[in-house]
Each structure stands twice: as C-alpha cells, then as structure tokens.
C-alpha cells in the first residue's frame, strides 16, 4: 500500500486508474475517510469487505460525482428525495433509494435498495470525476476503519486501521483532516415519508424545513427499522478505552467536553472543542488519542442542541461502555 501525500491531477488520475483495475483507494471526504472500490467489480468489493472485516450482508454506499448520475443506480425516487439531493448534494448526506439492476447484491447486502452519496470534498469530487471519465460508474466507500472501530478522520488514522489489511497495490490519499468529522446523515427514501437511519450534519430540522414533511428518526440502538445498517448496532464507533458519559473522572482518566467546561483535577484532557461543529470535527481523533495514550477510561460530557449535537450524541451512546 502506498500513501499519496500531495495529490495532483496526475496522482488522482493514477488513483482512478488503480480503482478501475480493481485496487482499493482510501480517500478523504468531508465527513470521514472512505475506503473505495469500483462498485461494479465483485472481486474488488470482496477485497474491500475482507480489508474492513465487515460481514458481507452489510450494504455499502455508492459515491458518484454528481446528481446527473443518480438514475444509473436508483429509480422511482419520491419527489422529496429529488429535493433533498438538489439541496444538500454535494454534501454529507446519503439517500437510500430503490435500486436499478446496476446495484448488485454484492454491494447492497441483498437488499432492494441502494445507498447513494455525492461527497463535497474537492479530492473526493476530483477522484470520482476522473473515475467516471475513465468509464467508471460509481465507487463504494465505507468508512476506512476495521468493522466496529472509530471512523478515521485523518490519513494517519487510515494507516493505523488498515495498513495490515491492504495490498501493495492499494492506495491511501492524504487530504488532511476531515471538516465535518462524523459520518453522513443516512435518509431512507423508500417510503412516503423520509426516515433518518443515521443522524449527521444534515439534521431532521433542515430536512423537514426543506420538504415540509414529517421526518422520522430511528432511535439509537433500535431494531425497529426493517433496514440493515451497521451504524444502528448498539456497539459501534468504539475505541479500546471504556467510554462513560457525564460521570466524574478519576485520576488518569481521559476527559472530553466543550472548552467552557474545565478539566476536573487529575483528568487528562483529550479535546476542548469551542462549539458543536468543532466537537464533531475533533471527537474521533480524541478517541484515538485515548488509545495512543493507553488510557483505560474516558469520561465524555456530551454536547446539547438540535444541530450536529444529535449525531455526536448518537455516536457517543453507541461507543459508551455497556458493562
């Protein structure tokens, strides 16, 4: 596996060619780093599942460069889905839609729907454009971490997660730290009303303000939806340290909270974000830092609000120690 630290037009062209040849390419998006494979190449996708250690019935998101390519992968989309796509793409949102014949069982985990996203990160966008220019149709990209682990928000974190599992011909593109820091909002658009399967930077309020429809939100850890999403598992996004929410740290415990909350005596401060957006940006790196520092317990004071705080609290509940 090679790491490309300064991406140019020529290195992106090579990365797209490499994807077309069946290799894996990890790349930055505005949310988290993804591990990409040609969405039409069964062998490449099999390698991707193996590298992630992910069960093969968990579906993948297809990344495309623009809404113009949507009807290759999805069909019969409701009016509200088109409105969402036109407004929030490119950006941190994934739509689950009825699939076309192109979206094979080996990417959808045998479901009749497919997840689609148009990322806004300039490197992701340029890579997808180049890939499509070379005849590619879409790139599946789960978060570039081993199954159940914290998603990577830097190229270094991808190396930590996957260097033992990638082939010599696979690539990691370094585009610096991710701006959003938590995974995209996933919206199930296979019904009359949209349903949020995973909260993210595009919030329920933003969605209902736009489309004037009620938006259902699947509760954290619930199995109510018929749709399979690993992000809905109760334990996910977890570091090695035990995470406790809103408790008082003991000597040597890690501590994460907004900057206006002082560090309790004896605790090791892992992040001091100034607001909720920065909280999302820094959270996964702070969790990784707890592992680097070999801290056993991390105390986290969750943020409040109806913005990206909802996505942060969702991830925190999932990574919290269940005893």
Name the token pair of 99: 């699939």
Q: Restricting to residues 116-145, name those near ligand TXA by CB under 6 A.
A: 117, 119, 141-143
CB of 297 to ligand TXA, least distance (A): 26
Under a CB-based contact definition with an 8 Å cutoff, are residues 237 and 318 in contact? yes
Under a CB-based contact definition with an 8 Å cutoff, are residues 312 and 261 in contact? no
Q: Restricting to residues 192-221, name those near ligand TXA by CB under 6 A.
A: 197
Total of residues contacting ligand TXA (CB under 6 A): 29
CB of 216 to Mg ion, least distance (A): 22
- Which partner in ligand TXA, Mg ion, none is near 117 (CB below 5 to 8 A by kind)? ligand TXA
Among 316, 75, 66, 61, smallest CA distance to 187 is for: 61
Under a CB-based contact definition with an 8 Å cutoff, are residues 202 and 55 in contact? no
CB of 35 to ligand TXA, least distance (A): 8
Q: Check binding of 143 to Mg ion (CB under 5 A).
A: yes
Q: Restricting to residues 2-61, name those near ligand TXA by CB under 6 A.
A: 29, 31-32, 34, 58-61
Q: How many residues does the chain have?
A: 323
Under a CB-based contact definition with an 8 Å cutoff, are residues 92 and 84 in contact? no
Under a CB-based contact definition with an 8 Å cutoff, are residues 242 and 296 in contact? yes
How far apart (Å, rounded) are the C-alpha atoms in residues 142 and 151? 9
Under a CB-based contact definition with an 8 Å cutoff, are residues 187 and 207 in contact? yes
Name the token pair of 19: 């994807």
DSSP bridge pairs for 3? 172
Total of residues contacting Mg ion (CB under 5 A): 1
Nearer to Mg ion, 125 or 143 (CB): 143
Q: Which stretch binds ligand TXA (CB under 6 A): 131-139, 156-164, 225-233, 306-314?
A: 225-233
Among 45, 291, 295, smallest CA distance to 152 is for: 291
Nearer to ligand TXA, 23 or 272 (CB): 23
Contacts of 242 (CB under 8 A, 6+ apart): 296, 297, 298, 321
CB of 185 to Mg ion, least distance (A): 14
Nearer to ligand TXA, 200 or 249 (CB): 200
Instruction: Give the residue ranges of DSSP H helices in the chain.
Output: 9-20, 42-52, 70-73, 79-88, 105-108, 122-133, 155-162, 204-211, 276-292, 309-319
Nearer to ligand TXA, 160 or 183 (CB): 183
Q: Restricting to residues 226-245, name those near ligand TXA by CB under 6 A.
A: 227-231
Under a CB-based contact definition with an 8 Å cutoff, are residues 140 and 37 in contact? yes
Q: Which stretch binds ligand TXA (CB under 6 A): 17-25, 113-121, 157-165, 296-304?
A: 113-121
Q: Which stretch binds Mg ion (CB under 5 A): 49-57, 143-151, 162-170, 190-198?
A: 143-151
Among 138, 142, 118, smallest CA distance to 27 is for: 142
Nearer to ligand TXA, 15 or 229 (CB): 229
- Which partner in ligand TXA, Mg ion, none is near 138 (CB below 5 to 8 A by kind)? none
CB of 19 to ligand TXA, least distance (A): 14
- Which partner in Mg ion, ligand TXA, none is near 115 (CB below 5 to 8 A by kind)? ligand TXA
Q: Check binding of 94 to Mg ion (CB under 5 A).
A: no
Under a CB-based contact definition with an 8 Å cutoff, are residues 290 and 241 in contact? yes
Residues within the interface to ligand TXA (CB under 6 A)? 29, 31-32, 34, 58-61, 94, 96, 108, 111, 113-115, 117, 119, 141-143, 183-184, 186, 197, 227-231
């Amino acid at each position: 596996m090679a790491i490309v630290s300064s991406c140019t037009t020529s290195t992106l062209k090579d990365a797209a060619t490499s994807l077309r040849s069946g290799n894996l390419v990890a790349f930055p998006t505005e949310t988290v780093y993804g591990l990409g494979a040609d969405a039409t190449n069964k062998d490449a996708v099999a390698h991707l599942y193996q590298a992630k250690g992910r069960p093969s019935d968990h579906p993948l998101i297809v990344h495309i460069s623009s809404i113009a390519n949507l009807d290759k992968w999805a069909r019969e989309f409701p009016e509200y889905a088109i409105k969402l796509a036109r407004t929030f793409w490119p950006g941190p949102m994934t739509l689950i839609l009825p699939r076309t014949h192109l979206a094979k069982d080996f990417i959808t985990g045998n479901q009749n729907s497919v997840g689609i996203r148009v990322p806004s990160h300039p490197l992701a966008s340029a890579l997808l454009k180049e890939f499509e220019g070379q005849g590619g149709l879409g790139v599946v990209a789960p978060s570039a971490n081993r199954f159940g682990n914290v998603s990577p928000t830097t190229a270094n974190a991808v190396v930590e997660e996957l260097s033992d599992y990638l082939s010599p011909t696979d690539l990691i593109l370094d585009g610096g730290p991710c701006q959003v820091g938590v995974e995209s909002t996933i919206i199930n658009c296979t019904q009359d009303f949209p349903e949020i399967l995973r909260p993210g930077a595009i919030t329920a309020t933003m969605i209902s303000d736009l489309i004037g429809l009620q938006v259902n939100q699947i509760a954290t850890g619930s199995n109510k939806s018929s749709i399979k999403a690993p992000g809905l598992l109760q334990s996910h996004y977890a570091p090695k340290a035990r995470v406790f929410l809103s408790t008082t740290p003991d000597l040597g415990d890690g501590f994460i909270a907004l900057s206006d909350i002082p560090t309790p005596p004896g605790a090791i401060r892992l992040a001091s974000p100034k607001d909720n957006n920065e909280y999302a940006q820094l959270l996964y790196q702070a969790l990784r830092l707890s592992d680097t520092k070999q801290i056993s317990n991390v105390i986290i004071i969750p943020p409040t609000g109806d913005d990206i705080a909802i996505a942060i609290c969702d991830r925190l509940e999932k990574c919290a120690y269940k005893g």
